[in-house]
Chains A and B, each alone.
Chain A
């Protein structure tokens, strides 16, 4: 049974048991425009909540992707290296960035759920 949470930096994080998957939301993907390059974190990298975890580049600019919660990276979506456009095509599915284990599931629980995130996006 998986749960999804969102940050105000427009990352999403899905928790399946002990494994979390992180990506950027449709809103962020649209704001970015066509993604041409993604720099993914290496397995084993320790990340803090709000810390830099990945970089996504559109034609015009580079944007940092932050870890929604603290933990350790366990893997990254290698498919994005050949097809960065997946981020635009399916940002909340096949365009996922990396997987991680969480140090403190409490950090995950504190994040916005989809209703709260939807409200947040409306306010922008």
Chain B
């Protein structure tokens, strides 16, 4: 047994995780459940079939007050153009224009402050960076006391409707203040699984009661971080620190879509010249191994002549696909869908092909036309 060398933080749902039989592991400085007794495979499949409840309270929630437009100093996303009641995905960029983190930001109806969620592992650095860059014009207020739950899956709407009547009206990427089981919450129709679902931000003190209420519904199972990772990988969603980091710019990371049109034209974000300039030498792509062996993060990618042309940054087994899936970077010449490549796994070259993502179709609840 290894003794933890650091004190791990706990979310407001810690006791509940133990009660549910969660297998706790260290993640981003927190003790988090990697799986529950059902296991990663069942938890993953259940989420795509019914509804899964995830504790993601370790992520960094904050509010930004003052001249919120100044957030555009550190992100190429269109912040000022974000309409009321909407949430948006953005990249946080270093001064050099490389990716510091990815995050979600929301404009709640009738409110001046922006609501922001950054990744767990980078939150301290992100908050300090934003505060420094916006010093004097905007104030960032981290809310480490808040909890964050994700309810994901095709049945998540009918479940949440029981505890938050009217929430079904929310469509993909909309955000609203509402109550869940009587607790005040910020609810967005978004997630990290590719399925329809909601993220529910709560006061820490309400988290356990709300989680229990949702888990009390027959459609819902608790889901751990293991399945969270396999779900997002099948959905082609990046994991910061793996699929992009501060050595990559948005063009290399294939995340140009997150740069606002106005921002692209204005050329007014860190590293704009490089990002908007010549095509990048390497690019993030989806990868499908042809056999059954997974290729994991770190596996080298070779062309058919054995020359190393890239590296896998995320890889594993996709339970819904019932096949291995991966993401990685390859030289630009090999980035087209259908390009045949080899993945070096345990000294052997395993055939694979560059493939479009998502690997599993998305099920987002778009507004009806």
Residues of B bordering A, CB below 8 Å? 1, 34-35, 39-42, 44, 226-227, 229-230, 292-294, 296, 316-317, 319, 324, 346
CB distance from A87 to the nearest CB of B (A): 12
CA distance A81 to B227 in the complex (A): 23
A59 touching B1 in the complex, CB below 8 Å, given contacts A37-B292, A37-B293, A81-B292: no
Q: Once the chains bind, are B226 and A33 in contact (CB under 8 Å)?
A: yes
Q: Once the chains bind, are A60 and B316 in contact (CB under 8 Å)?
A: yes
Q: Once the chains bind, are B316 and A59 in contact (CB under 8 Å)?
A: yes
CB distance from B49 to the nearest CB of A (A): 16
Taking the complex as formed, is A58 at the interface, i.e. its CB lies under 8 A from any CB of chain B? yes
Q: Once the chains bind, are A59 and B293 in contact (CB under 8 Å)?
A: no
Q: Which residues of A (35-77) have their CB < 8 Å from a CB of B?
A: 36-37, 39, 55, 57-62
CB distance from B321 to the nearest CB of A (A): 11
Sorted nearest first, the 8 A-B pairs with minimum C-beta distance are A34-B41, A36-B317, A59-B40, A59-B317, A34-B39, A37-B292, A60-B226, A37-B293
CA distance A92 to B346 in the complex (A): 26
CA distance A67 to B346 in the complex (A): 17
CB distance from A123 to the nearest CB of B (A): 9
CA distance A86 to B337 in the complex (A): 35
Complex partner residue of A57 from B39, B227, B229, B317, CB under 8 angstroms: B317
CA distance A57 to B229 in the complex (A): 16
Chain B residues with CB under 8 A of A39: 293, 346
Q: Once the chains bind, are A33 and B35 in contact (CB under 8 Å)?
A: yes
Taking the complex as formed, is A124 at the interface, i.e. its CB lies under 8 A from any CB of chain B? yes
Residues of A bordering B, CB below 8 Å? 33-34, 36-37, 39, 55, 57-62, 81, 124
CB distance from A14 to the nearest CB of B (A): 27
Complex partner residue of B317 from A37, A55, A81, A124, CB under 8 angstroms: A37
Chain A residues with CB under 8 A of B227: 59
Chain A residues with CB under 8 A of B346: 39, 55
Closest to A60 in B: B226
Q: Once the chains bind, are B230 and A62 in contact (CB under 8 Å)?
A: no
CA distance A36 to B294 in the complex (A): 9
Chain B residues with CB under 8 A of A34: 39-42
CB distance from B367 to the nearest CB of A (A): 34
Q: Once the chains bind, are B230 and A59 in contact (CB under 8 Å)?
A: yes
Closest to B322 in A: A36
CA distance A81 to B291 in the complex (A): 11
Complex partner residue of B319 from A55, A57, A59, CB under 8 angstroms: A59
CA distance A34 to B36 in the complex (A): 12
CB distance from A97 to the nearest CB of B (A): 16
CA distance A124 to B1 in the complex (A): 6
Chain A residues with CB under 8 A of B292: 37, 81
Chain A residues with CB under 8 A of B324: 36-37
22 A–B contacts from the bound complex (CB under 8 Å): A33-B41, A33-B226, A34-B41, A36-B41, A36-B294, A36-B319, A36-B324, A37-B292, A37-B317, A37-B324, A39-B346, A55-B346, A59-B41, A59-B44, A59-B226, A59-B230, A59-B316, A59-B317, A59-B319, A60-B229, A61-B296, A62-B296
